[in-house]
């Protein structure tokens, strides 16, 4: 609009200048008055336009300011919301991290516990295995000494076994073979005592028939005939179908 | 049997003791289960050359059969070749065959491969026919030196020589050489066993039924020893006191008995009725006897005290287990087992019935195991295609070696250390 007003003023000025330059003075004066009136009118219009424009501009500026304010408020609100969200997210994140940390610690504790438990179980199993292997080995050595006729060694081996492993499954075997070692070494008195102790401890054991028979032989070697007969009589009653009973019958001529 | 003589002349160690000290022979030997050793061809000292029984070959064969050595034989000393195989010691030597061709002197040297210095040397002189014995003696001394253990190279093996329907008792060196007849009958002679170094017991059908005979290896004489109306078989003699265990059908069934070395004090140990208890084999401590019994159904190996008490079964695998042989170390019993494939194989088991394992399963039938005197080897007979030959295998089933190729060897029985 300002551009259009400026263009009209400029056109009038050019026309006045052109008429003035033609030399028609009378007419010119009249025309100047008219032109001035027009000019003033135009100026008034121009001013009105300006005022209107200014008013419009002020309105626009006010609207703009309102819009800006609204925008600022909106942005502030948004920012506040974002901050809140951020805070909440951060809090959640912290919680999560804390939970993860706790979980991790729990995991560590669980695995440590599990490891310790495994270690404990393994060490207990190892210890049990080692103990079993040790007792098997000790028994095996004593037995191999017996089989090779090294009776002094087998006696000390079996007795050592009994000292170390009195509750082992092979304990009765160790007692039996210790007595057998005495018998094989012809230490009949010692063998007699050990056979007697064995019978007292395991009266119905798997080896009782054999031990009754051997006890009788130990008596026989010591010329204790009555004891021998008594033991073998007992054997015949207890183990009538055994090989030992057959041997006794053969020996006693029955 | 004619005696042959030879003498170990001298030990060369003292003169060269310094060299021996440099090489840690004991340390070297202790590093191996099977000692790496080289054997180099001996050199003649004159123009009279041996035509057979080459000492270096016998040494190589002895050390290999023993299972205690990893032997490499070379025609000439070659330090690079020996060192490359990780061999630290070797045997070389020389021999002198005298002009009459009847007497021989052998010199055997154990040397250090790195310096060729002498560690131990020995000289033996004797009749040429005793050459193998001389080399066996030297081999024994090597084992004693390196293992502090007795060598088995002078041990002998009794066997049944199968000649069609005839079965005679023979004897041979542990390596299958030097074979000789102890009986030469048109009858069946079986189950030979040593009573002592020069006496043999066996079962003979001389009187038309099986009895136990006793014979002298050196004198070549024999006479009936246990004579009963019933059959008497499978003698085995305790190395502790000479007590003889055998099987007899005196009671109506075949059972195990013992008697004194002179045949007296017979005692029945098993009492099967209608069954079979046989093939007794003494434990080396003379306290127990392994035997075969069918009391549980099929024949299985059992163990009992020499008094007959404490009888217990020790084999549970195999359809038919027989001919137990108790190891001289006392820790194993070898036996022949008929497996699911209906083939007899050689097995071992601990006297407590544990650790049963197969040690030989050649095609054909593998039977009659017998232990070397040191308890490391098992000799047995393999019968395939109508021929029976003796093999040796280490107790763990390794180092199987064929000993005879004549096809007529049955029931071997290895001698003890006397």
pLDDT tens-digit map of B295-344: 988 999 999 999 999 999 999 988 899 999 999 999 999 999 998 788 99
Of B120, B147, B174, which one is at a domain's C-terminal end?
Answer: B147
Query: Which residues in chain A have Cβ-Cβ distances shorter than 8 Å to B267?
Result: 250-251
Residues B122 and B222 in one domain: no
Q: How confident is the model at residue A13 (pLDDT cuts 50, 70, 90)?
A: low
Same domain for B113 and B167, yes or no, is no
Of the candidates B268, B285, B331, the beta carbon closest to that of A250 is on B268
Are B140 and B17 in a shared domain? yes
- The distance of B305 to chain A (nearest Cα, Å) reads 9
Q: B168 at the A interface (CB within 8 A)?
A: no
Judged against a pLDDT cut of 70, whether residue B9 lies above it is answered with no
- Asked whether residue B239 falls in the same domain as residue B378, the answer is yes
What pLDDT sits at residue A61?
Answer: 87
Interface contact A175, partner B, CB < 8 A: no
Report yes or no: B267 at the A interface, CB cutoff 8 Å. yes
Contact A149 B284 (CB under 8 A): yes
Could you tell me the pLDDT band of residue A112, with boundaries at 50, 70 and 90? confident
Q: Which distant-in-sequence residues (6+ apart) come within 8 Å of A242 by Cβ?
A: A209, A235
CB contact under 8 A, A144 and B304: no
Contacts of A151 in chain B (CB under 8 A): 285
What band does A96 get if pLDDT is binned at 50, 70 and 90?
Answer: confident
Position A18 pLDDT exceeds 70? no
Q: What is the pLDDT of residue B15?
A: 40
pLDDT at residue A248 is higher than 90? yes
Distance CA B392, CA B385 (A): 19
Highest mean pLDDT among A118-127, B28-37, B107-116: B107-116
Chain A contact present for B353, CB below 8 A: no
**Residue of B212 and A90 predicted with greater confidence:** B212
What pLDDT, on a 0 to 100 scale, did the predictor assign at position A92?
A: 73
CB proximity list for B395: less than 8 A, separation 6 or greater: B327, B332, B334, B348, B359, B371, B375, B376, B377, B378
In tens, the pLDDT along A150-207 reads: 999 999 999 999 999 999 999 999 999 999 999 999 999 999 999 999 999 998 888 9
For residue A3, pLDDT over 60 is answered with no
* CA separation for the pair B268, B255 (Å, rounded): 7
Name the residue facing B285 among A184, A207, A250 (closest C-beta). Answer: A184
Contact A247 B308 (CB under 8 A): yes
Q: Do B235 and B384 have their domain in common?
A: yes
Q: What is the pLDDT of residue A27?
A: 60
Q: Is A210's CB within 8 Å of B309's CB? A: yes
Q: Which of A146, A148, A246 sits opposite B271 (nearest CB)?
A: A246
Do B214 and B358 lie in one domain? The reply is: yes
Considering only CB atoms, A243 lies closest to which of B284, B309, B331, namely: B309
Residue A20's pLDDT band (cuts 50, 70, 90): low
Which chain A residue's Cα is nearest to B270? Answer: A243
Q: Which of B271, B284, B286 sits opposite A243 (nearest CB)?
A: B271
Q: Is B285 at the interface with chain A, CB within 8 A?
A: yes
The CA distance from B408 to the nearest CA of chain A, in Å, is 34
Q: Which residue in A has a C-alpha nearest to residue B285's C-alpha?
A: A149
Distances (CA, A) of B309 to A61, A211, A244, B42, B270: 128, 9, 5, 57, 9
In a domain, B324, yes or no: yes
**Of the candidates B207, B272, B176, B194, which has an alpha carbon nearest to the alpha carbon of residue B239?**
B194
Domain boundary among B115, B147, B179: B147
CB contact under 8 A, B285 and A214: no
Same-domain pairing of B102 and B161: no
Measure in Å the smallest separation between the Cα of B330 and chain A Cα atoms: 5
The reply to whether residue A207 touches residue B310, judged by beta carbons under 8 angstroms, is: yes
Mutate to test the interface with A, among B238, B255, B282, B309 (most CBs of A within 10 A): B309
Distance CA(B102)–CA(B185), nearest Å, equals: 33
Q: Which of A60-64, A203-207, B241-245 has the highest mean pLDDT?
A: B241-245
Give the pLDDT of residue B195: 96
Q: Look at residue B259 and tell me whether its pLDDT is greater than 90.
A: yes
pLDDT over threshold 90, residue B73: yes
Between B28 and B382, name the one with better pLDDT. B382
Mean pLDDT rounded to a whole number for chain B: 92
* Mean model confidence pLDDT for chain A: 84
Residue A68 pLDDT greater than 90, yes or no:
no
**Residue B8: is its pLDDT beyond 80?**
no
Instruction: Report the CATH number at residue B253.
Output: 2.120.10.30
| pLDDT mean over A100-127 | 80
Percent pLDDT > 70 in chain A is: 88
pLDDT at A10: 60
* Same domain as B199, residue B54: no
What is the pLDDT at residue B220?
Answer: 83
pLDDT, tens only, B364-373 = 999 999 999 9
Q: Region of B214 please: left (phi>0), alpha (psi -120 to 50) or beta.
A: beta
Residues shown for chain A: 254
* Residue B22: pLDDT band with limits 50, 70, 90: low
- pLDDT in the model for residue B16: 42
Q: Report if residue B216 sits inside a domain.
A: yes
Contacts with A209 from chain B: Cβ below 8 Å: 309
In the A/B pair of chains, how many CB contacts fall below 8 A?
Answer: 65
Position A24 confidence tier, pLDDT thresholds 50, 70, 90? very low
Residue B1 reports pLDDT greater than 50? no
- A213 to chain B: which residues are within 8 Å by CB? 307, 309
CA distance, residue A113 to nearest chain B CA (Å): 40
Q: Taking CB atoms and an 8 Å limit, are B284 and A147 in contact across chains?
A: yes
On whether the CB atoms of residues B109 and B123 are closer than 8 A, the answer is no
Instruction: Nearest by CB to A184, from B287, B310, B311: name it.
Output: B287
- Return the residue of A nearest to B269 by Cα: A247
The token duo for B142 is 């090597």
CA distance A109 to chain B (A): 46
Q: Would B407 be classed as within a structural domain?
A: yes
**B177 and B251 together in one domain:** yes
User: In chain A, which residue's Cα lies nearest the Cα of B328?
Assistant: A148
Cβ-based neighbour number of residue B81 at 10 Å:
14
Averaged pLDDT, A209-226:
95
Q: Is A182 on the interface with B (CB under 8 A)?
A: no
Does B113 share its domain with B160?
Answer: no
CA separation (Å) from B215 to A179, B196, B233, B238, B394? 39, 11, 15, 17, 31
- C-alpha span between B365 and B324 (Å, rounded): 16
Check whether residue B62 and residue B209 sit in a common domain. Answer: no
- Residue B1 falls within a domain, yes or no? no
Tell whether B70 is within 8 A of chain A (Cβ).
Answer: no
Contact B268 A247 (CB under 8 A): yes
Where is the domain boundary, B147, B170, B188?
B147
The whole-number pLDDT of residue A4 equals 53
Instruction: Please determine, for the modelled complex, whether the ipTM score is greater than 0.85.
Output: no
Whether residue B172 lies inside any domain: the answer is yes
Provide the shortest C-alpha distance from residue B332 to chain A (in Å). Answer: 10
- State how beta strands B232-237 and B244-248 pair: antiparallel
pLDDT of residue A132: 87
Q: How many CA atoms lie within 13 A of A140 on its CB side?
A: 12
Contact A238, A208 (CB under 8 A): yes
Residues B123, B271 within the same domain: no
Give the best-scoring range by mean pLDDT among A95-104, A123-132, B11-20, B137-146: B137-146
- Among A144, A217, A250, the residue with its CB nearest the CB of B330 is A144
Decide which of B122 and A254 is more confident.
Answer: B122
Q: Contact B365/B359 with Cβ under 8 angstroms?
A: no
**CATH at residue B62:** 3.40.50.10070
Domains: count for chain B: 2
Q: Using the beta-carbon criterion (under 8 Å), do A247 and B304 form an inter-chain contact?
A: no
Structural domain including B64 reads: 6-147
Is B252 part of the contact surface with chain A (CB cutoff 8 Å)?
no
In B228-386, beta strands by DSSP E:
232-237, 244-248, 255-259, 267-268, 277-282, 288-293, 300-305, 312-313, 320-326, 333-338, 344-349, 357-360, 365-371, 377-384
Cβ <8 Å between A147 and B310:
no
Q: Which residues in chain A have their CB less than 8 angstroms from residue B284's CB?
A: 147-149
- Confidence tier at A26 by pLDDT (50, 70, 90): low
One-character DSSP codes across A99-143? HHHHHHHHHHHHHHHHHHHHHHHHHHHHHHHHHHHHHHHHHHHHH
């Amino acid at each position: 609009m300002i551009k259009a007003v400026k263009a009209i003023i400029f056109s009038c000025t050019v026309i006045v200048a052109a008429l003035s330059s033609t030399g028609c003075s009378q007419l010119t004066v009249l025309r100047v008055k008219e032109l001035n009136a027009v000019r003033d009118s135009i100026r008034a219009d121009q001013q009105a336009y300006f005022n209107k424009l200014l008013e419009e501009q002020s309105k626009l500026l006010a609207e703009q300011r309102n819009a800006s304010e609204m925008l600022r408020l909106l942005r502030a609100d948004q920012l506040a919301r974002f901050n809140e969200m951020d805070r909440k997210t951060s809090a959640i994140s912290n919680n999560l991290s804390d939970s993860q940390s706790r979980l991790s610690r729990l995991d560590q504790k669980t695995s440590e516990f599990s490891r310790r438990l495994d270690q404990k179980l393994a060490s207990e199993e190892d210890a049990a295995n080692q103990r079993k292997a040790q007792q098997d080995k000790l028994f095996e050595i004593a037995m191999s000494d017996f089989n090779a006729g090294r009776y002094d060694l087998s006696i000390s081996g079996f007795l050592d076994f009994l000292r170390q492993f009195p509750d082992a499954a092979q304990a009765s075997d160790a007692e039996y073979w210790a007595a057998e070692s005495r018998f094989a070494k012809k230490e009949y008195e010692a063998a007699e005592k050990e056979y007697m102790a064995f019978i007292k401890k395991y009266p119905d054991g798997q080896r009782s028939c054999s031990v009754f028979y051997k006890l009788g032989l130990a008596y026989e070697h010591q010329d204790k005939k009555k004891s021998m007969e008594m033991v073998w009589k007992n054997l015949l009653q207890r183990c009538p179908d055994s090989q030992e009973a057959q041997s006794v019958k053969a020996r006693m001529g029955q | 049997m004619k005696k042959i003589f030879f003498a170990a002349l001298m030990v060369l160690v003292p003169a060269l003791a310094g060299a021996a000290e440099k090489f840690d022979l004991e340390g070297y030997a202790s590093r191996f289960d099977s000692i790496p050793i080289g054997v180099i061809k001996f050199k003649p000292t004159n123009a009279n050359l041996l035509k057979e029984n080459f000492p270096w070959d016998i040494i190589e064969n002895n050390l290999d059969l023993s299972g205690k050595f990893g032997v490499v034989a070379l025609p000439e000393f070659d330090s690079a070749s020996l060192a490359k195989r990780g061999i630290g010691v070797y045997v070389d030597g020389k021999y002198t065959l005298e002009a009459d061709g009847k007497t021989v002197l052998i010199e055997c040297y154990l040397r250090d491969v790195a310096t060729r210095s002498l560690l131990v040397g020995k000289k033996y002189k004797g009749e040429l026919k005793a050459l193998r014995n001389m080399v066996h003696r030297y081999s024994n001394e090597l084992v004693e030196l390196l293992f502090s253990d007795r060598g088995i190279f002078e041990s002998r093996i009794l066997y049944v020589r199968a000649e069609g329907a005839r079965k005679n008792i023979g004897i041979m060196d542990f390596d299958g050489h030097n074979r000789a007849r102890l009986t030469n009958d048109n009858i069946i002679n079986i189950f030979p066993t040593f009573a002592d170094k020069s006496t043999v017991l066996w079962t003979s059908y001389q009187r038309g039924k099986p009895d136990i005979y006793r014979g002298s290896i050196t004198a070549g004489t024999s006479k009936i020893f246990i004579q009963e109306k019933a059959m008497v078989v499978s003698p085995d003699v305790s190395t502790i006191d000479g007590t003889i265990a055998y099987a007899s059908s005196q009671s109506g069934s075949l059972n195990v008995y013992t008697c004194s070395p002179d045949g007296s004090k017979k005692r029945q140990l098993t009492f099967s009725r209608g069954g079979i208890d046989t093939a007794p084999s003494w434990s080396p401590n003379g306290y127990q006897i392994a035997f075969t019994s069918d009391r549980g159904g099929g024949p299985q190996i059992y163990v009992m005290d020499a008094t007959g008490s404490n009888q217990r079964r020790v084999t549970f695998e195999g359809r038919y287990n027989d001919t137990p042989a108790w190891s001289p170390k006392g820790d194993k019993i070898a036996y022949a087992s008929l497996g699911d494939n209906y083939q007899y194989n050689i097995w071992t088991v601990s006297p407590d019935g544990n650790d049963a394992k197969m040690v030989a399963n050649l095609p054909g039938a593998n039977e009659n195991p017998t232990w070397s005197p040191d308890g490391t080897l098992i000799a047995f007979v393999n019968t395939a295609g109508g021929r029976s030959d003796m093999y040796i295998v280490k107790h763990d089933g390794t180092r199987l070696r064929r000993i005879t190729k004549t096809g007529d060897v049955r029931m071997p029985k290895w001698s003890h250390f006397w």
